[in-house]
Protein backbone atom coordinates (compact mmCIF):
# COMPACT_ATOMS: atom_id res chain seq x y z
CA UNK A 1 0.00 0.00 0.00
CA UNK A 2 1.34 3.42 -1.00
CA UNK A 3 0.24 6.10 1.43
CA UNK A 4 0.70 9.83 0.95
CA UNK A 5 1.21 11.57 4.31
CA UNK A 6 0.34 15.23 4.89
CA UNK A 7 1.36 17.22 7.99
CA UNK A 8 0.06 20.79 8.54
CA UNK A 9 -0.57 21.00 12.28
CA UNK A 10 1.47 24.13 13.01
CA UNK A 11 4.43 25.83 11.33
CA UNK A 12 5.83 23.11 9.06
CA UNK A 13 4.33 21.76 5.86
CA UNK A 14 5.39 18.14 5.52
CA UNK A 15 4.64 15.59 2.81
CA UNK A 16 5.91 12.02 2.41
CA UNK A 17 5.18 8.85 0.49
CA UNK A 18 5.37 5.57 2.40
CA UNK A 19 5.07 2.10 0.90
CA UNK A 20 4.17 -0.68 3.34
CA UNK A 21 6.44 -3.06 1.42
CA UNK A 22 9.33 -0.81 0.35
CA UNK A 23 9.36 1.68 3.21
CA UNK A 24 9.76 5.44 2.87
CA UNK A 25 9.97 6.42 -0.80
CA UNK A 26 10.29 10.21 -0.56
CA UNK A 27 9.64 13.14 1.76
CA UNK A 28 9.81 16.94 1.69
CA UNK A 29 9.37 19.67 4.28
CA UNK A 30 8.93 23.42 4.27
CA UNK A 31 9.57 25.25 7.56
CA UNK A 32 7.88 28.56 8.36
CA UNK A 33 10.43 29.51 11.03
CA UNK A 34 11.85 32.47 9.12
CA UNK A 35 8.37 33.89 8.53
CA UNK A 36 7.26 33.61 12.16
CA UNK A 37 10.60 34.74 13.66
CA UNK A 38 9.70 38.36 12.93
CA UNK A 39 6.76 38.02 15.35
CA UNK A 40 8.55 36.00 18.02
CA UNK A 41 6.25 33.01 17.62
CA UNK A 42 3.72 31.30 15.37
CA UNK A 43 0.96 33.51 13.92
CA UNK A 44 -1.92 31.08 13.18
CA UNK A 45 -3.41 32.96 10.22
CA UNK A 46 -0.03 33.32 8.53
CA UNK A 47 0.66 29.64 9.15
CA UNK A 48 -2.60 28.60 7.48
CA UNK A 49 -2.00 30.79 4.44
CA UNK A 50 1.52 29.48 3.99
CA UNK A 51 0.33 25.85 4.17
CA UNK A 52 -2.16 26.70 1.41
CA UNK A 53 0.66 28.04 -0.79
CA UNK A 54 3.14 25.26 -0.10
CA UNK A 55 1.16 22.03 0.16
CA UNK A 56 0.31 21.18 -3.46
CA UNK A 57 3.82 21.99 -4.80
CA UNK A 58 5.31 19.80 -2.04
CA UNK A 59 2.98 16.93 -2.97
CA UNK A 60 4.11 17.22 -6.58
CA UNK A 61 7.74 17.32 -5.41
CA UNK A 62 7.40 14.13 -3.36
CA UNK A 63 5.60 12.23 -6.12
CA UNK A 64 8.26 13.32 -8.60
CA UNK A 65 11.05 12.18 -6.26
CA UNK A 66 9.45 8.77 -6.01
CA UNK A 67 8.50 8.59 -9.72
CA UNK A 68 4.93 7.87 -8.67
CA UNK A 69 1.82 9.35 -10.28
CA UNK A 70 -1.25 10.39 -8.30
CA UNK A 71 -3.19 7.51 -9.87
CA UNK A 72 -0.71 5.11 -8.25
CA UNK A 73 -1.57 6.22 -4.70
CA UNK A 74 -3.54 3.73 -2.60
CA UNK A 75 -4.51 6.02 0.30
CA UNK A 76 -3.89 9.40 1.92
CA UNK A 77 -3.21 10.14 5.60
CA UNK A 78 -3.27 13.63 7.09
CA UNK A 79 -2.81 15.21 10.51
CA UNK A 80 -6.27 15.69 12.00
CA UNK A 81 -5.06 17.08 15.34
CA UNK A 82 -4.04 18.31 17.75
CA UNK A 83 -2.84 21.60 16.29
CA UNK A 84 -3.95 24.98 14.95
CA UNK A 85 -7.45 24.54 13.55
CA UNK A 86 -6.87 26.66 10.42
CA UNK A 87 -3.63 24.85 9.63
CA UNK A 88 -5.26 21.47 10.19
CA UNK A 89 -8.10 22.39 7.84
CA UNK A 90 -5.65 23.02 5.00
CA UNK A 91 -4.26 19.49 5.20
CA UNK A 92 -7.64 17.87 5.85
CA UNK A 93 -9.42 19.56 2.93
CA UNK A 94 -6.55 18.84 0.54
CA UNK A 95 -6.39 15.19 1.57
CA UNK A 96 -10.13 14.68 1.29
CA UNK A 97 -10.31 16.49 -2.04
CA UNK A 98 -7.51 14.39 -3.55
CA UNK A 99 -8.90 11.15 -2.13
CA UNK A 100 -12.37 11.89 -3.48
CA UNK A 101 -10.97 12.66 -6.92
CA UNK A 102 -8.82 9.52 -6.96
CA UNK A 103 -11.41 7.24 -5.40
CA UNK A 104 -9.10 6.08 -2.60
CA UNK A 105 -9.45 5.96 1.21
CA UNK A 106 -8.34 8.84 3.43
CA UNK A 107 -7.67 8.91 7.16
CA UNK A 108 -7.06 11.61 9.77
CA UNK A 109 -4.10 10.77 12.03
CA UNK A 110 -3.27 11.88 15.57
CA UNK A 111 -0.20 14.12 15.45
CA UNK A 112 1.34 12.72 18.63
CA UNK A 113 0.81 9.14 17.49
CA UNK A 114 2.85 10.12 14.45
CA UNK A 115 5.70 11.33 16.67
CA UNK A 116 5.43 8.26 18.87
CA UNK A 117 5.78 5.92 15.89
CA UNK A 118 8.44 7.95 14.02
CA UNK A 119 11.32 5.69 15.24
CA UNK A 120 9.58 2.82 13.42
CA UNK A 121 10.82 4.39 10.18
CA UNK A 122 14.40 3.49 11.11
CA UNK A 123 16.15 0.26 10.11
CA UNK A 124 16.76 -0.61 13.77
CA UNK A 125 13.23 0.05 15.02
CA UNK A 126 12.16 -0.83 18.57
CA UNK A 127 9.84 -3.75 19.29
CA UNK A 128 6.70 -3.38 21.39
CA UNK A 129 6.28 -2.84 24.28
CA UNK A 130 8.25 0.28 25.18
CA UNK A 131 8.06 3.52 27.15
CA UNK A 132 7.83 6.66 25.04
CA UNK A 133 8.81 10.19 26.02
CA UNK A 134 6.97 12.64 23.76
CA UNK A 135 8.45 16.13 23.89
CA UNK A 136 6.91 18.11 21.06
CA UNK A 137 5.70 21.71 21.17
CA UNK A 138 3.03 21.95 23.86
CA UNK A 139 3.29 18.28 24.85
CA UNK A 140 5.48 16.50 27.38
CA UNK A 141 4.19 12.99 28.07
CA UNK A 142 5.37 9.58 29.19
CA UNK A 143 3.40 6.76 27.59
CA UNK A 144 3.54 2.99 27.85
CA UNK A 145 3.15 1.59 24.33
CA UNK A 146 2.06 -2.04 23.89
CA UNK A 147 1.11 -1.72 20.22
CA UNK A 148 -0.60 0.57 17.72
CA UNK A 149 -3.33 2.38 19.67
CA UNK A 150 -2.53 0.50 22.88
CA UNK A 151 -1.29 3.43 24.94
CA UNK A 152 -1.27 4.03 28.68
CA UNK A 153 -0.50 7.57 29.82
CA UNK A 154 2.03 7.37 32.65
CA UNK A 155 2.67 11.07 33.21
CA UNK A 156 2.41 14.48 31.56
CA UNK A 157 3.10 18.13 32.19
CA UNK A 158 0.69 19.80 34.58
CA UNK A 159 1.56 23.27 33.21
CA UNK A 160 4.20 24.32 30.67
CA UNK A 161 5.59 21.59 28.43
CA UNK A 162 9.37 21.35 28.03
CA UNK A 163 9.27 22.93 24.57
CA UNK A 164 7.17 25.84 25.84
CA UNK A 165 9.59 26.34 28.74
CA UNK A 166 12.50 26.52 26.28
CA UNK A 167 10.67 29.14 24.21
CA UNK A 168 9.89 31.25 27.28
CA UNK A 169 13.45 31.00 28.58
CA UNK A 170 14.68 32.12 25.17
CA UNK A 171 12.49 35.24 25.31
CA UNK A 172 13.81 36.05 28.80
CA UNK A 173 17.34 35.83 27.42
CA UNK A 174 16.52 38.00 24.41
CA UNK A 175 16.91 35.15 21.92
CA UNK A 176 15.03 34.80 18.66
CA UNK A 177 12.33 32.25 17.81
CA UNK A 178 12.48 29.23 17.86
CA UNK A 179 13.72 29.17 21.44
CA UNK A 180 14.91 25.59 21.93
CA UNK A 181 17.81 25.55 19.45
CA UNK A 182 18.82 29.11 20.44
CA UNK A 183 19.01 28.26 24.15
CA UNK A 184 20.96 25.08 23.39
CA UNK A 185 23.47 26.96 21.23
CA UNK A 186 23.98 29.63 23.89
CA UNK A 187 24.29 27.00 26.63
CA UNK A 188 27.34 25.53 24.89
CA UNK A 189 29.29 28.61 26.06
CA UNK A 190 27.96 28.50 29.62
CA UNK A 191 29.76 27.55 32.83
CA UNK A 192 28.06 24.39 34.19
CA UNK A 193 29.28 25.11 37.70
CA UNK A 194 27.92 28.62 38.17
CA UNK A 195 24.29 27.72 39.01
CA UNK A 196 22.19 24.66 39.67
CA UNK A 197 18.56 25.34 38.85
CA UNK A 198 15.79 23.22 40.44
CA UNK A 199 14.73 19.89 38.92
CA UNK A 200 10.93 20.30 39.30
CA UNK A 201 8.83 17.52 40.86
CA UNK A 202 11.77 15.09 41.07
CA UNK A 203 11.75 15.18 44.87
CA UNK A 204 8.34 13.48 45.01
CA UNK A 205 6.98 10.23 43.57
CA UNK A 206 5.12 10.14 40.29
CA UNK A 207 5.76 10.70 36.61
CA UNK A 208 4.11 14.07 35.98
CA UNK A 209 6.15 17.11 34.93
CA UNK A 210 6.05 20.79 35.82
CA UNK A 211 8.24 23.47 34.30
CA UNK A 212 6.49 26.66 35.45
CA UNK A 213 8.59 26.85 38.64
CA UNK A 214 11.80 26.43 36.66
CA UNK A 215 10.64 29.20 34.34
CA UNK A 216 10.02 31.48 37.33
CA UNK A 217 13.43 30.63 38.83
CA UNK A 218 15.08 31.48 35.52
CA UNK A 219 13.27 34.82 35.33
CA UNK A 220 14.20 35.67 38.93
CA UNK A 221 17.87 34.90 38.22
CA UNK A 222 17.88 37.08 35.09
CA UNK A 223 16.19 39.99 36.86
CA UNK A 224 18.69 39.76 39.70
CA UNK A 225 21.55 39.97 37.25
CA UNK A 226 19.91 42.88 35.45
CA UNK A 227 19.37 44.82 38.67
CA UNK A 228 23.08 44.52 39.45
CA UNK A 229 24.14 45.29 35.87
CA UNK A 230 25.67 41.79 35.62
CA UNK A 231 23.69 40.35 32.71
CA UNK A 232 26.55 40.23 30.21
CA UNK A 233 27.02 37.66 27.45
CA UNK A 234 28.72 35.17 29.74
CA UNK A 235 25.99 35.42 32.36
CA UNK A 236 23.32 34.82 29.72
CA UNK A 237 25.21 31.74 28.56
CA UNK A 238 25.52 30.51 32.15
CA UNK A 239 21.76 30.92 32.70
CA UNK A 240 21.05 29.04 29.45
CA UNK A 241 23.35 26.21 30.55
CA UNK A 242 21.75 25.92 33.99
CA UNK A 243 18.25 25.97 32.48
CA UNK A 244 19.03 23.36 29.80
CA UNK A 245 20.69 21.02 32.30
CA UNK A 246 17.69 21.30 34.64
CA UNK A 247 15.26 20.35 31.85
CA UNK A 248 17.47 17.49 30.60
CA UNK A 249 17.98 16.07 34.10
CA UNK A 250 14.28 16.31 34.93
CA UNK A 251 13.24 14.46 31.78
CA UNK A 252 15.93 11.80 32.29
CA UNK A 253 14.95 11.22 35.94
CA UNK A 254 11.31 10.72 35.00
CA UNK A 255 12.22 8.39 32.14
CA UNK A 256 14.32 6.27 34.49
CA UNK A 257 11.40 6.08 36.89
CA UNK A 258 9.03 5.07 34.08
CA UNK A 259 11.34 2.23 33.04
CA UNK A 260 11.61 1.09 36.66
CA UNK A 261 7.84 1.28 37.15
CA UNK A 262 6.99 -0.68 34.00
CA UNK A 263 9.96 -3.05 34.06
CA UNK A 264 10.56 -2.34 30.36
CA UNK A 265 13.99 -2.04 28.74
CA UNK A 266 13.17 0.09 25.70
CA UNK A 267 12.69 3.87 25.68
CA UNK A 268 11.52 5.80 22.62
CA UNK A 269 12.08 9.57 22.57
CA UNK A 270 10.35 11.65 19.90
CA UNK A 271 9.35 15.25 19.19
CA UNK A 272 11.34 18.41 18.57
CA UNK A 273 13.03 18.56 21.99
CA UNK A 274 14.38 15.02 21.42
CA UNK A 275 17.03 16.55 19.15
CA UNK A 276 18.63 18.31 22.14
CA UNK A 277 22.18 16.98 22.53
CA UNK A 278 22.37 17.38 26.31
CA UNK A 279 19.04 15.57 26.77
CA UNK A 280 20.26 12.69 24.62
CA UNK A 281 23.42 12.38 26.69
CA UNK A 282 21.43 12.26 29.94
CA UNK A 283 19.02 9.67 28.53
CA UNK A 284 21.81 7.48 27.19
CA UNK A 285 23.41 7.48 30.65
CA UNK A 286 20.11 6.77 32.42
CA UNK A 287 19.18 3.85 30.15
CA UNK A 288 22.63 2.25 30.09
CA UNK A 289 22.70 2.13 33.89
CA UNK A 290 19.47 0.09 33.77
CA UNK A 291 20.59 -2.18 30.95
CA UNK A 292 17.99 -0.52 28.76
CA UNK A 293 18.19 1.14 25.35
CA UNK A 294 16.92 4.43 23.95
CA UNK A 295 15.62 4.89 20.40
CA UNK A 296 15.19 8.12 18.41
CA UNK A 297 13.93 9.00 14.95
CA UNK A 298 16.56 10.42 12.62
CA UNK A 299 17.23 14.15 13.04
CA UNK A 300 14.87 15.48 10.39
CA UNK A 301 12.02 13.36 11.74
CA UNK A 302 12.30 14.72 15.29
CA UNK A 303 10.35 17.83 14.31
CA UNK A 304 6.97 17.74 12.53
CA UNK A 305 7.12 15.88 9.22
CA UNK A 306 5.01 14.04 6.70
CA UNK A 307 6.83 10.71 7.02
CA UNK A 308 5.55 10.03 10.53
CA UNK A 309 1.97 10.76 9.42
CA UNK A 310 2.31 8.51 6.37
CA UNK A 311 3.65 5.67 8.53
CA UNK A 312 1.09 6.01 11.34
CA UNK A 313 -1.70 6.35 8.79
CA UNK A 314 -0.52 3.29 6.89
CA UNK A 315 -0.72 1.10 10.01
CA UNK A 316 -4.33 2.08 10.66
CA UNK A 317 -5.32 2.00 6.99
CA UNK A 318 -4.02 -1.58 6.78
CA UNK A 319 -6.40 -2.41 9.62
CA UNK A 320 -9.30 -1.03 7.59
CA UNK A 321 -9.70 2.37 9.26
CA UNK A 322 -10.70 5.36 7.13
CA UNK A 323 -12.66 8.61 7.34
CA UNK A 324 -16.26 8.61 6.22
CA UNK A 325 -16.72 10.18 2.80
CA UNK A 326 -16.94 13.94 3.10
CA UNK A 327 -16.31 13.98 6.87
CA UNK A 328 -12.86 15.48 7.29
CA UNK A 329 -11.47 15.94 10.78
CA UNK A 330 -9.73 18.93 12.34
CA UNK A 331 -9.42 18.49 16.10
CA UNK A 332 -7.37 21.25 17.82
CA UNK A 333 -7.45 19.40 21.18
CA UNK A 334 -7.33 15.63 21.00
CA UNK A 335 -6.10 13.67 24.06
CA UNK A 336 -4.09 10.61 23.06
CA UNK A 337 -5.95 8.43 25.52
CA UNK A 338 -8.99 8.75 23.25
CA UNK A 339 -7.22 6.68 20.57
CA UNK A 340 -8.24 3.06 20.24
CA UNK A 341 -6.30 0.09 18.99
CA UNK A 342 -7.22 -0.99 15.45
CA UNK A 343 -9.99 -3.62 15.36
CA UNK A 344 -7.78 -5.68 13.02
CA UNK A 345 -4.05 -6.04 13.60
CA UNK A 346 -2.12 -4.23 10.80
| Residues annotated within a binding site | 111, 115, 134-138, 167, 180, 276, 304
* Class of the CATH domain delimited by 2-117+301-338: alpha beta
The superfamily (CATH) of domain 127-296 is: ATPase, nucleotide binding domain (3.30.420.40)
Cα Rg of the chain (Å, integer):
20
**What pLDDT sits at residue 343?**
78
Q: Are 148 and 342 in contact (CB under 8 A)?
A: yes
Those residues with Cβ within 8 angstroms of residue 239's Cβ, 6 or more apart along the chain or in another chain? 173, 190, 195, 218, 221, 222, 225
Q: Quote the CA–CA distance of 325 and 322 in Å, as a whole number.
A: 9
Cα–Cα distance for residue pair 88/253, rounded to 1 Å: 34
Q: Do domains 2-117+301-338 and 127-296 have the same CATH topology?
A: yes
Distance CA 246, CA 112 (A): 24
Residue positions forming the annotated binding site for substrate: 134-138, 167, 180, 276
- pTM for this entry: 0.94
CA distances from 149 to 83, 88, 113, 157, 345 (A): 20, 21, 8, 21, 10
Beta bridge partners of 28: 15
Per-domain residue ranges for the chain?
2-117+301-338, 127-296
* C-beta separation of 139 from 114 below 8 A: no
Report d(CA 241, CA 342) in Å as an integer.
Answer: 44
Q: What is the pLDDT of residue 182?
A: 95
Query: Which phi and psi (to 5°) does residue 260 adopt?
Result: -65, -40
Three-state secondary structure call for residue 14: strand
Q: Are 15 and 4 in contact (CB under 8 A)?
A: yes
**Residuewise pLDDT in 10s, the chain (346 residues):** 999 999 999 999 999 999 999 999 999 999 999 999 888 889 999 999 999 999 999 999 999 999 999 999 999 999 999 999 999 999 999 999 999 999 999 999 999 999 999 999 999 999 999 999 999 878 899 999 999 999 999 999 999 899 999 999 999 999 988 899 999 999 999 999 999 999 999 999 999 999 999 999 999 999 999 999 999 999 999 999 999 999 999 999 999 999 999 999 999 999 989 999 999 999 999 999 889 999 999 989 999 999 999 999 999 999 999 999 889 999 999 988 888 888 777 7
Query: Cβ atoms within 10 A of the Cβ of 193, count?
Result: 9
Residue pair 126/109 in contact (Cβ under 8 Å)? The answer is no
Backbone angles phi, psi at 75, to 5 degrees: -170, 165
Q: List residues forming the annotated binding site for Fe cation.
A: 111, 115, 304
Tell me the C-alpha to C-alpha distance, in Å, between residue 77 and each of 46, 72, 95, 270: 24, 15, 7, 20
Contact residues for 181 (Cβ-Cβ < 8 A; gap 6+): none
Spatial contact of 7 and 79, defined as CB atoms under 8 Å apart: yes
Looking at residue 139, its pLDDT comes to 87
Instruction: Enumerate the H helices of 40-173 as residue ranges.
Output: 44-66, 85-102, 111-117, 162-172
Amino acid sequence: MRVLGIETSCDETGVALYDTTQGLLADALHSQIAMHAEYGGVVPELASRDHTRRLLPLIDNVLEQASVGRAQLDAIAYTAGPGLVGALMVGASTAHGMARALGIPVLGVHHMEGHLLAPMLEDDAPDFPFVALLVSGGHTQLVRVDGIGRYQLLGESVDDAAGEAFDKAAKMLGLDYPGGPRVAALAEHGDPGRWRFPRPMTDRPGLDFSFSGLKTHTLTTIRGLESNAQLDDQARADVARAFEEAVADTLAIKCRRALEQTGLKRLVVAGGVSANVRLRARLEDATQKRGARVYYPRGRFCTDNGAMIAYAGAQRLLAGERDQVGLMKAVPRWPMDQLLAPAVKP
